[in-house]
Amino acid sequence: MFSNLFQKIVEATFSDIKRKQKSITNLFPSFGKRVQKIGQMGGVRLKDTEEDIWNFKVHSGTKKNTWYDIVVHFKNVGAVLARVAKDRRLWLTNKARVDYTKLAKVFLDKADIQLSCTCPAQLYYGGDYVLSKDKYDAKYGDKEKRPPKVRNPKEYGAHCKHVQAVFKVLPFYSNTASKWLRDFYSDEIKAIEQGAEAEVRTFKKAAAGLKARGEEEPELPTPKPTKPAAPAKAAAVEPEPEEKPKKPVRPVTKKELPEPEEEKPEGEEEESPTGPPGGLEAPPEEEEEEVEQPEEEVEPEVTQPAPTAAPAGPHKPRPTVAPRRAPRKPRRPVKPVKPTTSVLIPRKRPKIASQGEVRPEPEV
């Protein structure tokens, strides 16, 4: 158990190597253009396929008529198929068996692989050293233990441009992969199909047993509904006395206010009703002549609307008073504008005396 777990941790899949390869642009910014040039020169060709090995040859991107050999080794094919082929989504629509075309596409992405290339760049730029690490264990053949201290000290990338060209076209070999699985792993796939069908039959049988068991169980009698107890009568509560609305207070005008009494200075005695003090008789009062005074114009009193009853509450609104508007000033009359039309008055020219005509002499 622990050996299989350790094996899954140290093995690198096709996706893991692609993720590591993304850092190669830090070393070669034009790495993508170099890969495209390989396709222009000669491209990638699949030579043959074995039980767990695919052999490719890739043309050089700089030299003509130069080819490099690349090996793709698939590790633990049976374990990967057992993990992938159980997925019922990769089966036919009638769920009779596995669809090899769908299975091949998923297998190429999830497979554990090892690589090797005969080009010098794979060796001297650290591709073999990175793939030989225990973290990946993806170097096919002899392991490389010498790190690239001169050309790639930071160990960017995982392989050369020729391997990248193979990875670029590998998904298009799904039909080849499906034929390869039929030729070499059809027995393993059939065993996986039988095991999956046995699991399905087991689940169906268990579901049918649970359903039959549920039908045999007698129905429990339902309890009769009981009448709810009548609620206790609440004690009679005396209603609170309603507050009577207060009468509105009418504002007092200035005319209704009493005139203040004039205070008399100290030392003056009040006049007695009979006369002055000391028993002296008061001089006779002189009759005042009545003088007609012109009637004063009385301004009409402004009746204020009676305030509405204030609602009961802690705050009382102020009485509303109609605002007085100031009289408008009369507008100044607009002077008419005289039309400015120019009239041409003909000037009288002096008459010129003709020959033989005698002008009258002016009077002095």
Mean pLDDT of the chain: 76
d(CA 204, CA 198): 10
Q: State residue 53's pLDDT score.
A: 95
Give the 3-state secondary structure of the chain.
Answer: CHHHHHHHHHCCEHHHHHHHHHHHHHCCCCHHHHHHHHHHHCCEEEEEECCCEEEEEEECCCCCCCEEEEEEEEECHHHHHHHHCCCHHHECCCCCCECHHHHHHHHHHHCEEEEEECCHHHHHCCHHHHHCCCCCCCECCCCCCCCCCCCCCCCCCCCCHHHHHHHHHHHHHHHHHHHHHHHHHHHHHHHHHHHHHHHHHHHHHHHHHHHHHHHHCCCCCCCCCCCCCCCCCCCCCCCCCCCCCCCCCCCCCCCCCCCCCCCCCCCCCCCCCCCCHHHCCCCCCCCCCCCCCCCCCCCCCCCCCCCCCCCCCCCCCCCCCCCCCCCCCCCCCCCCCCCCCCCCCCCCCCCCCCCCCCCCCCCC
Say how many CA atoms lie within 13 Å of 190 toward its Cβ. Answer: 6
Lowest mean pLDDT among 12-16, 29-33, 45-49, 92-96: 12-16
119 pLDDT above the threshold of 90: yes
Q: pLDDT, tens digit, for every residue of 264-296?
A: 555 554 444 444 444 444 455 545 455 455 555
- Percent of all residues in the chain with a pLDDT value above 90, rounded to a whole number: 41
Angle at 83 between CA 78 and CA 84, to 5 degrees: 100
Name which of 3-12, 183-192, 207-216, 239-248 the model is least confident about: 3-12
Once rounded to an integer, what is the mean pLDDT over residues 85-92? Answer: 90
Model-level pTM?
A: 0.54
- Residue 351: pLDDT band (50, 70, 90) is low
Place of tokens 């060709």: 45
